[in-house]
Structure 1
Amino acid sequence: MASTAKQKGWNILVITSDEHNAKIMGCANHPIIRTPGLDRLASEGTLFTKAYCAYPICAPTRQSFITGQYPLEHGQLSNSHVFDKRNRTWAHHFKQHGYTTACIGKMHTNHESYEYGYDYRYSTEHIPQEIKTRKALNPPIFDPDDKLIFDSITDIRNGGKQPSRLQGKVVNDESLENDVIMLEEAIQYLKTHRSDKFFLHVSFVQPHWYWNTPEKYYYMYDPEQIDLPETVPGELESNAVVYKMAEKAGWFQNTEKMHRLARARYYGSISWMDSNVNRLLDTLDELGLKENTVVVYFSDHGDMAGEKGLWLKNQMYDSSSRVPLIIRMPGIVPEGEVNDMLINHVDLFPTLAGLAGALEHLPDHLSGEDLSDSIVSREDGKEARRAKKFTFSIQGLKSVDSVPQQVMARSENWKLIQYTHEEPEYRYVLYDMKNDPDETQNVAYEEHLCSVVQEHLTAIEQFLSGLRKPVYEVKLKEQTGTTLI
């Protein structure tokens, strides 16, 4: 496999979105959402149904997939920390293997102008002032009827001093929006580097709130016709930490009408993002690059999107911690298949290296594994090894010496969440993911499942003890003078 990849000289196109719930794609059998671009990619590649983020918050998890390390190792512990310029990323590695490398769009390092190993970097900091001025003169506008509902949504944060994040506006000129600017820059990059062996990461911000989208997509879904997952009585009470968080945020005060509107506008944002993905796939076709380009799509984390009455990320429910993942590699990765192996953000760097035949010089400090053998088509008739017994996600870090406030251990059939600082009777949540995929019943305290709980707790202990300390000093943005993106 590695020799075949080297012989062909594969390009790599990584496409990421922000806050995309893995359940909300056509190829994931969602009944309403329209995602022809992602559906097309999945039909020509493999869809992964048990892919998880390293940390269900933007900045920490983003640096996990470019380093193959967890946040406690690479040092960006939160959205307010800064990713050290000296960290080694996948850009350094693939450049060492003869790739020209670029990242176009959001990195969320809190130092967006820095290259981090890429030969070419284009972010919001590079957008010409003339475009910013034009956008200021022609900004997105509220639908007045929607605004009345958005203004009524309860989303308490920072002591109630900040407005709800659950809102969206109608975009008048999409060419002035960041995602389209990044799309056009990426298309130009592909045209310019079509003869090179390239590693290109295109990073879209949608469907992250606010859901500002062109009219076609803003009104694509009727709130009255939108699906809304049913809330099972008592399901949140059995996860006391989440219940307290939702109560504090005021989400229990929101009505079904509010959830339907917000969910409909979130869907519109997904479909708009999908159309930009489709444009990139069309560009590969037009340039004759499809057959020798690995395309990978995934998100940094998900969004609860009204499920259980919750919104945003931060949680270990699948809607928040599981990510959409699709890999297309013609002739190597099976077409139209669904792969249910466990895979994490930290595995993507070494796995891409394995797929592309670029494992030589792979850093020895990675927490991620090369899972390419469990992804490719098998010509020898042998069944690929089951890749991992557990994968992990963490959340809530204050320092490199702190234990995460939340730790998730996901196995094939179970998910255990450990809330580190809670009292013993609230500390553990166990979901039977085979028989209760909607995560409605905490069975951690059922006597006959003691061994399952202990197995996962042991795995968590071994995982945490195996993490390395960051190489460079961990700093908050206030300590460096950088600006939060």
Structure 2
Amino acid sequence: MSQKPKNLLVIMSDEHSTKALGCYGSEIVKTPNLDRLAASGTRFSSAYCTSPVCIPARASFAVGKYIHQVGYWDNADAYDGAVPSWHHHLRERQHDVVSIGKLHFRETGEDHGFTQEIVPMHILEGKGDLMGLVRSELPVRKGAYKMAHYAGPGESTYTMYDRDITARAQIWLRERAKREQDKPWVLFVSLVAPHFPLTAPPEHYYHYYNQALPMPKLYEESERPNHPYLLDYRKSFNYDDYFDRDAVKRAIAGYFGLCSFLDENIGKILTSLEESGLADSTRIVYTSDHGDNLGSRGMWGKSTMFEEAAAVPLIISGEGIPANKVVDTSVSHVDVYPFILDAVGNDEPQLREGFPGVSLFEVAQGAAPDRNVLVEYHGMGSATGAFMIRNGKYKYVYYVGYPSQLFDLQKDPEELSDLATNPEYEAALAECRTKLWQICDPLEVDARAKARQAQLLAQNGGREAVIARGDLGFTPVPGVAFTLD
């Protein structure tokens, strides 16, 4: 590692699709601060989460390994600090490692590795979404109405929480600038926008609602793909049952408005970094835990392997990082782990052995151009495990017990044509299958995930008890009362 050690600011949003940033090609969504950040550094055009749902994605981001390597399978199996994280490693080496905002770990009081957790959001009651443990005869989500119901202008507990997180981040940076330091610090700022409820501050909401907005891709009933995995998800998370045309427009305007609200808050944080005199001594990472389908193919929320949900924005900036560069090599959140170690000057081999990631410093300089990255899903709304690899121009999705999918993202970036049954692509399909099995055995992983889920289900009273407990919908912010549906 030749880069000079620097402080590191990690900014994570929640559910931000790459389809909703100007620097990723959106001609509608305005994200000027993120666009400037991308222009000052390197943007990864093919970056992926490790699992398209909050809790597994965030656990994996913390520990730098894939889901099947560490467990934390679903939204009822949150990170508890048992597997050492980059937070633990750096704190043990006397770095100040502070989080502000959403963590979505198991509960307050556990040692997650941070020096300090400021206004952390953790899962409800230390249990989270127990209904996601039910993986057969999937229950219909009673709280699905909330997606359409809350879409519109205004403030929610989530927007108010983001305002508080942003204020605290600004204060922390300005106060930290006054203090002497022996080693670089890491500040992890985790905002919740644009995660639903799709209630956006009026100035942002009406900017989008007062213009013609396109309908979601493949939205009409006759256009929607009928793959059994997608049918499972749409039947369990029956969000679209509550949408008419105006609700669709309100939801899109709300989501886009929240993206601009997010960008506004990021702008405030970056301004504080500059005005406090810390910009030159600090590198920056921006990403999101996963994306959002936003009505495409009749689906809302996440939990699928399409680019809308599985791809994530990933931008790095600062000393030693090429400016105004776009890297097309496939990368993953597991690659952020070695990058963080590099950024603060840690080069201990024992902290990297057995980890699948390649430092983003190295990828930005051309390393590992032909690598594969993995996304997997074992959670709510799915009856079977889903595994995706990005192999060059191909995206291959393997479902245990269901037909596979294959997309050529070079010719078909919108994933409109599934090539898995096309005989011309038999060789590509076989190659992708081989490469997936080189990473993990999906059958073994699926069985292991379901065994853990059956164990947790029994501990919480079984199928009927967790269904009777109700639908979480979205996690309450700290200090706010919440009722399950």
TM range (shorter): 0.7 to 0.9
- Letter paired with 1:415: K
Confirm or deny: 8 A CA contact 1:352 1:372 kept in the other structure.
Answer: no
Does 2:385 match 1:409?
no
Partner of residue 425 from structure 2, selected from 440, 449, 459: 449
Cα offset, 1:443, TM superposition = 0.7
Matched with 2:52 is 56
Matched with 1:133 is none
Partner of residue 393 from structure 1, selected from 375, 384, 390: 375
Change (3 A) 1:252 1:443: farther
- Letter paired with 1:117: G
Matched with 2:173 is 190
Confirm or deny: 8 A CA contact 1:175 1:181 kept in the other structure.
Answer: no
Note the aligned Cα RMSD (angstroms).
Answer: 3.2
Change (3 A) 1:29 1:82: closer
Cα offset, 1:159, TM superposition = 4.9
Change (3 A) 1:210 1:477: farther
The residue correspondences of 1:28-47 to structure 2 (distance < 5 A) are 28-47=24-43
- Letter paired with 1:406: A
Taking the aligned partners of 1:94 and 1:372, their CA distance within structure 2 comes to 18
Change (3 A) 1:297 1:250: closer
Structure 1: stretches of 5+ with no match in the other structure: 127-155, 377-383
Change (3 A) 1:262 1:109: same
Q: Bigger shift: 230-239 or 92-101?
A: 230-239
Change (3 A) 1:238 1:390: farther
Taking the aligned partners of 1:345 and 1:198, their CA distance within structure 2 comes to 20
1:20-43 per-residue CA deviation (whole Å, 9 max, x = no partner) reads 011211111211111111011111
Confirm or deny: 8 A CA contact 2:159 2:200 kept in the other structure.
Answer: no
Partner of residue 87 from structure 1, selected from 83, 90, 111: 83
Taking the aligned partners of 1:235 and 1:175, their CA distance within structure 2 comes to 33
Matched with 2:20 is 24
Cα offset, 1:57, TM superposition = 0.5
1:98-141 per-residue CA deviation (whole Å, 9 max, x = no partner) reads 42110111111121453411111112569xxxxxxxxxxxxxxx
Confirm or deny: 8 A CA contact 1:236 1:440 kept in the other structure.
Answer: no
Change (3 A) 1:90 1:403: farther
Does 2:336 match 1:348?
yes
Q: Bigger shift: 51-60 or 450-459?
A: 450-459
Give the number of aligned pairs: 434
Structure 2: stretches of 5+ with no match in the other structure: 123-137, 462-471, 477-485
Matched with 1:103 is 99
> The residue matched to 2:388 in structure 1 has which SS?
strand
- Letter paired with 1:39: D
- Letter paired with 2:50: A
The residue correspondences of 1:160-179 to structure 2 (distance < 5 A) are 160=142, 163-166=145-148, 167-168=150-151, 170-171=153-154, 177-179=160-162
Change (3 A) 1:412 1:180: same
Confirm or deny: 8 A CA contact 2:152 2:250 kept in the other structure.
Answer: no
Change (3 A) 1:183 1:112: farther
User: What TM-score do the two structures reach when normalised by structure 2?
Assistant: 0.81
Matched with 2:209 is 222
Cα offset, 1:190, TM superposition = 1.4
Change (3 A) 1:161 1:304: closer
Matched with 2:411 is 435
The residue correspondences of 1:121-270 to structure 2 (distance < 5 A) are 121-124=117-120, 158-160=140-142, 163-166=145-148, 167-168=150-151, 170-171=153-154, 177-194=160-177, 195-196=180-181, 197-222=184-209, 224-231=211-218, 236-237=224-225, 239-246=227-234, 249=238, 251=240, 254-270=243-259
Taking the aligned partners of 1:216 and 1:174, their CA distance within structure 2 comes to 17
